[in-house]
Amino acid sequence: MLSSAVLLLAAGHLAAAVPAASSSYASRPAVSTVEPSLTAIQSAEATVKPVTPVSNVEGASFKRFYQVWLENIDYQSAMGDPNMAWLASQGITLSNYFATTHPSEPNYCAAAGGDNFGMDNDDFNVVPANVSTIVDLLDTKNISWAEYQEDLPYAGFLGFNYSNQKTYANDYVRKHNPLIFYESITNNSTRVRQIKGFTDFETDLKNQELPQWAFFTPNMTNDAHDTNITFGSKWERSFMAPLLNNSYFMNDTVVLLTFDENETYGIANKVFAILLGGAIPEKLKGTVDNTYYNHYSTIATVSENWGLPSLGRWDCNANVFDIVSSKTGKVNAALNFNDKSVYFNQSYPGPLSDELYSDVWPIPTNSSTCANGRGVLPSIVKTYAGQKASFNYTSPYPYDALTGLDVPSQ
Ligand SMILES: *[C@@H]1O[C@H](CO)[C@@H](O)[C@H](O)[C@H]1NC(C)=O
Ligand SMILES: *[C@@H]1O[C@H](CO)[C@@H](O)[C@H](O)[C@H]1NC(C)=O
Ligand SMILES: *[C@@H]1O[C@H](CO)[C@@H](O)[C@H](O)[C@H]1NC(C)=O
Ligand SMILES: *[C@@H]1O[C@H](CO)[C@@H](O)[C@H](O)[C@H]1NC(C)=O
Ligand SMILES: *[C@@H]1O[C@H](CO)[C@@H](O)[C@H](O)[C@H]1NC(C)=O
Ligand SMILES: *[C@@H]1O[C@H](CO)[C@@H](O)[C@H](O)[C@H]1NC(C)=O
Ligand SMILES: *[C@@H]1O[C@H](CO)[C@@H](O)[C@H](O)[C@H]1NC(C)=O
Ligand SMILES: *[C@@H]1O[C@H](CO)[C@@H](O)[C@H](O)[C@H]1NC(C)=O
Ligand SMILES: *[C@@H]1O[C@H](CO)[C@@H](O)[C@H](O)[C@H]1NC(C)=O
Ligand SMILES: *[C@@H]1O[C@H](CO)[C@@H](O)[C@H](O)[C@H]1NC(C)=O
Ligand SMILES: *[C@@H]1O[C@H](CO)[C@@H](O)[C@H](O)[C@H]1NC(C)=O
Ligand SMILES: *[C@@H]1O[C@H](CO)[C@@H](O)[C@H](O)[C@H]1NC(C)=O
């Protein structure tokens, strides 16, 4: 439970921007509403064809951007692990990278849509079709994209989980799949089949048909969720090492290795992060970048690299990874949250919040300052025309429910 002081602070902050929180989220299903039977799953496994678009659009710093997220590890534990240290030696360590909240699902959701909509749970959340994602930004230049979810039974599977069918141990879980929450993806039979399994990754790699944007989620054993950092980092090194030797994979590629959230809720939500791949200049290997970043930086970086607009949410003015901003001249905000009481460890009002439920979907900004002056995707501006933004999304720092800060004083 939140303390009453926190609730007052949050309500006070939002009084000006967001309609008052209502007291019920009962209209939102807490559990899965899509459970294909095992026979339906097996039949789909045999028939559903994954979709594999290819493209080769030039960018300021890279031609491919991939992310691999592990689970629930505090910064210090990851930093102290020998296999993580080896991976870090191959690239740039981001020593000031933050998650957006707890638990897992809102962080994955944030990396796709630029907001977590107040989500404070791992439920069967669905984001309506009028909310855009990074896919809509990539589509403006036909930049190919995919997700690779280990143990997904078939491309576009919508169920809550797919467990090991012998042991029933956790494998694929919907809560770690960023694009699956969004109806703008799941209601489109082409797009949804770009959410594929790891075996499809092996195929796409072999056929040299890898997409330019991809998100990788290992299963619940490999991602350290049901194991620990020792196991997860060993898996990650074994996954990455052959790829780092693969000239097709490495060609102009940046891979972000990070974690969805830090493990201890009562401390600031900093996670370990590494950038590596063929697009990382040799002289930067083994270096540390201490710029403040967060999961929204992944969207802002992709947008800045390819000259795309913004979603008008927390990606609007998020800091862009230095490997791109140093080439394009985007000025990043300077701040070290290690010295501030900013936690990013809880929810703010929104339709996916249990603690601070509001029935209003947050309205994005239409600010022309977003995306380093490229503004907001025109279809988003049109959809929300005449409505006032719910938060100060032009701030480079997302709203922190505990402190009420979205623009920390320097
Ligand atoms: C994207 O692809 C569509 C369909 O092939 C094409 O009509 C459109 O011109 C392309 N857009 C860009 C920016 O290349
Ligand atoms: C999903 O997880 C539940 C609980 O562990 C399990 O009983 C069920 O078989 C799983 N569903 C699938 C399709 O694997
Ligand atoms: C997770 O994936 C690995 C292969 O990467 C597999 O060996 C393992 O059985 C999977 N975990 C479970 C619990 O099934
Ligand atoms: C998306 O599909 C779901 C499930 O079929 C349906 O309930 C929903 O109305 C659809 N939404 C839109 C915007 O078409
Ligand atoms: C589905 O997505 C594809 C690719 O992003 C897009 O070209 C198409 O218009 C979408 N279809 C619908 C019905 O929205
Ligand atoms: C992770 O688990 C393994 C096996 O249980 C154990 O040997 C190892 O010490 C653990 N690592 C950490 C960091 O706790
Ligand atoms: C990658 O290449 C390096 C140097 O050539 C070599 O030492 C290493 O064993 C290779 N690793 C894999 C996994 O192939
Ligand atoms: C890297 O990409 C460039 C252009 O996109 C291509 O000419 C070159 O052959 C590629 N190299 C490898 C090793 O795939
Ligand atoms: C977030 O961290 C603060 C400071 O340690 C703590 O007071 C608060 O209870 C935490 N919130 C949650 C939801 O754990
Ligand atoms: C979680 O992140 C904070 C920084 O924000 C860091 O000080 C702390 O060490 C991390 N947690 C642990 C237990 O390492
Ligand atoms: C977006 O969809 C949600 C859910 O259907 C609805 O409540 C909201 O009014 C819509 N917003 C706009 C601007 O159409
Ligand atoms: C929103 O954030 C920007 C950037 O930090 C700041 O300049 C501006 O004053 C803020 N606007 C409001 C209304 O707080």
For the chain, the structural domain boundaries read: 4-383
The atom of ligand 11 lying closest to the CA of 363 is 13
Instruction: Give the number of other Cβ atoms within 10 Å of residue 292's Cβ.
Output: 22
CB proximity list for 199: less than 8 A, separation 6 or greater: none
Structure tokens at 72: 């629930």
Report the pLDDT averaged over residues 362-383. 98
Q: 168 in ligand 2 pocket by Cβ < 6 Å?
A: yes
Reading phi first (left if > 0) and then psi (alpha if -120 to 50, else beta), residue 123 is in beta
Q: What is the pLDDT of residue 265?
A: 63
Closest CA to 130 of 401, 325, 384: 384
| Ligand 4, atom 10: closest residue by C-alpha | 187
pLDDT (mean) for 97-111: 94
Mean per-residue pLDDT for 29-53?
Answer: 91
> What pTM value is reported for the model?
0.92
Banded pLDDT at 362 (limits 50, 70, 90): very high
Inform me whether the pLDDT recorded for 169 exceeds 60.
Answer: yes
**What ligand is nearest to the CA atom of residue 56?**
8
Instruction: Tell me which H or E stretch contains 326.
Output: helix 322-328
Cα-Cα-Cα-Cα dihedral sign, residues 14, 16, 17, 21: positive
Highest mean pLDDT among 9-23, 260-274, 348-362, 367-381: 367-381
Atom of ligand 4 nearest to the CA of 129: 13
Q: Please compute the mean of the pLDDT values over residues 28-41 and round it to a whole number.
A: 85
pLDDT at 2: 31
Closest-CA residue to 330 (of 345, 318, 312, 343): 318
Give the integer Cα–Cα distance in Å for 265 and 402.
12
What pLDDT is stored for residue 34 in this prediction? 87
Q: Kindly state if the Cβ of 169 falls inside 6 Å of ligand 4.
A: no
* pLDDT at residue 270, as a whole number: 86
- Going by pLDDT thresholds of 50, 70 and 90, the confidence category of residue 17 is very low
Confidence grade of residue 298 (pLDDT, cut at 50, 70, 90)? very high
> 188 CB under 6 A from ligand 5?
yes
CB atoms within 10 A of CB 50: 18
Residue 205 CB–ligand 7 contact under 6 Å: no
Point out the ligand nearest to the CA of residue 383. 11
The region that residue 289 occupies, defined by phi over 0 for left and psi between -120 and 50 for alpha, beta otherwise, is beta
How distant, in Å, are the alpha carbons of 164, 170, 176 from that of 220? 10, 6, 9
Q: What is the CB neighbour count within 10 angstroms for residue 308?
A: 23
Which pLDDT does position 341 carry in this prediction? 64
- pLDDT category at 7 given cuts 50, 70, 90 is very low
In the structure, what pLDDT confidence band is assigned to residue 386 with cuts at 50, 70 and 90? Answer: very high
For residue 142, which atom of ligand 1 is closest to its CA?
1
Distance separating alpha carbons of residues 382 and 176, to the nearest angstrom: 31
Highest mean pLDDT among 73-82, 171-180, 259-268: 171-180
Q: How far is CA 12 from the centre of its chain?
A: 29
How high is the mean pLDDT of the chain?
89
Query: Distance from the CA of 192 to the center of ligand 2, in angstroms?
Result: 21
Tell me the CA–centroid distance for residue 144 and ligand 7, in Å. Answer: 29
- Between residues 2 and 311, which one has the greater pLDDT? 311
Active site residues: 226
Query: Which helix (DSSP H) or strand (DSSP E) does residue 217 occupy?
Result: strand 213-217
Architecture of domain 4-383: 3-Layer(aba) Sandwich (3.40)
Decide: 55 and 212 in contact? Cβ < 8 Å: yes
d(CA 377, ligand 12 centre) in Å: 21
Give residue 4's pLDDT: 32
Nearest by Cα to 328 from 367, 277, 279, 371: 371
From the CA of 269, the nearest ligand is: 10
